Amino acid sequence: MNYILNAAGDPVAEPDVLAWALWFSSADRTIGRAELANDVTVSTVFLGVDHNFGSGPPLVFETMIFGGPLDETQYRYATRAQALAGHEAAIKEAMAASND
């Protein structure tokens, strides 16, 4: 299932593949981005596609850590609120791991 973000930034199902593709090609899907010390980046984005594949709530947001000891660590979420909280948690996790 494909999803877009409504005006409030919450995911809504978009059954029309063409409408989804048009929205996806021009939308700003960034939820959060943090550039940390030692070339570590934490990025949270709206995926637009359910990565839970029908097994539970749609996972349509993702946080990834790039660089450092947690390079390519990822977390997925169903809601914007979870994604925002997860982004902040991943920043703290990445900073702690870089200080070890």
Quick: pLDDT tens for 10-58.
999 999 999 999 999 999 999 999 999 989 999 999 999 999 977 899 9
Q: Does the structure show a pLDDT above 90 at 63?
A: yes
Minimal CA–CA distance to 45: which of 7, 75, 15?
Answer: 75
d(CA 54, CA 37): 38
CA end-to-end distance (rounded Å), the chain = 41
| 51-75 mean pLDDT | 94
Q: What is the rounded average pLDDT for all residues in the chain?
A: 95
What is the pLDDT at residue 100?
Answer: 65
pTM here is: 0.93
